[in-house]
Amino acid sequence: MKISQEVKVGLLAVVSLLMFYYGFRFLKGSDFFSSTNKYQVIYDNIDGLVPSNPVRINGLSVGRVKSIEILQNQGNKLLVTLELNKTIRVTQGSKAVLDDDGLLGGKLIKLSIDPKGATLEDGGMLVATKESGLSALIREKTLPVLNNVDSLTFQLNRVVAQFDQTGVMLKQTLQSANAGVKTLDLTIAENRAGLKATLANVSHLSASLVETEKMLKPILSKADTFADSLQGLQLKQTLLTVNKTVDNLQKILADVNNGRGSLGKLTSDEQLYRNVNATAASLEKLLTDLREHPKRYVQFSLFGKKEQPYTSPTPAASTTITTVIPADSTKK
């Protein structure tokens, strides 16, 4: 039986279409030679998740995203169907974690299976969770920085505006400085003669100081000689003598304070002090009585006649002194 060319071309086109269709499905992750189980999970936001994104357990790809449907009757939530190998045991309470797949921004689902839970049947519902991916972290960290940059830009604008005012003030200051310099130049020009005379006086004063220095040199040399003479004096020996004298004086004062010696006894012995006071008082009374009644103590006779001695009421306190002048002495 002969097959016409048209039939061959038609068969080749059908085979090509079938190969293209299944090849495209295979590239999307469909495995035609292995059986799979399907599980569902509902997310509020899938952040760019698309069908054929991988499903992984500890980094191992165990399936793919089968389809994504929107549930408008549930607040536009998204129903994601996962297709996993039958060899994977999925338990109740397992989590489908939506995460980033690398730095390029792709998405994947990581399964976190609870080994203690009961086996989840085909078509069961997984628990939806999310992780803060790299893009979310960058967004969280970048927004405050951008706000700070905006604030910094605003502050810089204010500072630049103040710099504009400062430039105006600086310009005015420079103009004032130029006017001051011109005034100073004019003042110097007007007082040039006075400045010249002042400088001449300063020069004359310098010359006078030089002459004064010449006159001071002999005086300073004499002062040095006088200092040498003072150093040559026996100041050390004199100080030693003074120290010895002070030591002796301290010893004498110590003896007086301790009651040694006459002066020390006089200062420390109260009985001796009282006796001396009593003796002085008695002596004062005796001298007073002698001045008032001299005949009690001295009897004078011109011709040798003896008079009766005066009897004192207190014999112990009186003393009789008789003076006899011979008669021959008067005749002479």
Q: Where is average pLDDT lowest: 16-25, 60-69, 141-150, 275-284?
A: 141-150
pLDDT at 28: 63
Residues 139 and 133 sit within 8 Å (Cβ to Cβ): no
Q: For 106-120, what is each residue's pLDDT tens digit?
A: 788 888 888 888 888
Residue 200 confidence (pLDDT) above 80: yes
CA distance 263 to 65: 129
pLDDT at 75: 86
- Let me know if 222 is exposed, middle or buried by CB neighbors in 10 A (0-12, 13-18, 19+): exposed
Q: Does domain 34-131 have CATH number 1.10.1740?
A: no
pLDDT at 115: 83
pLDDT at 133: 57
Sign, Cα dihedral of 288, 291, 295, 298: positive
Closest CA to 131 of 163, 157, 107, 115: 107
Residue 318 confidence (pLDDT) above 70: no
Sign, Cα dihedral of 48, 53, 54, 59: negative
CA distance 6 to 16: 15
Residue 208 confidence (pLDDT) above 60: yes
Q: What percent of the chain shows pLDDT beyond 90?
A: 1
What is the rounded average pLDDT for all residues in the chain?
A: 76
Per-residue confidence band for 142, with pLDDT thresholds at 50, 70 and 90: confident
What single string gives the DSSP state of each residue in 54-82? Answer: EEEETTEEEEEEEEEEEEGGGTSEEEEEE
Residue 40 confidence (pLDDT) above 80: yes
Contacts for 249 with CB less than 8 Å, ≥ 6 apart: none
Q: What percent of the chain shows pLDDT beyond 70?
A: 75
Per-residue confidence band for 32, with pLDDT thresholds at 50, 70 and 90: low
Q: Please give the average per-residue pLDDT across 305-310, as a whole number.
A: 52
Rg of the chain (C-alpha set): 69
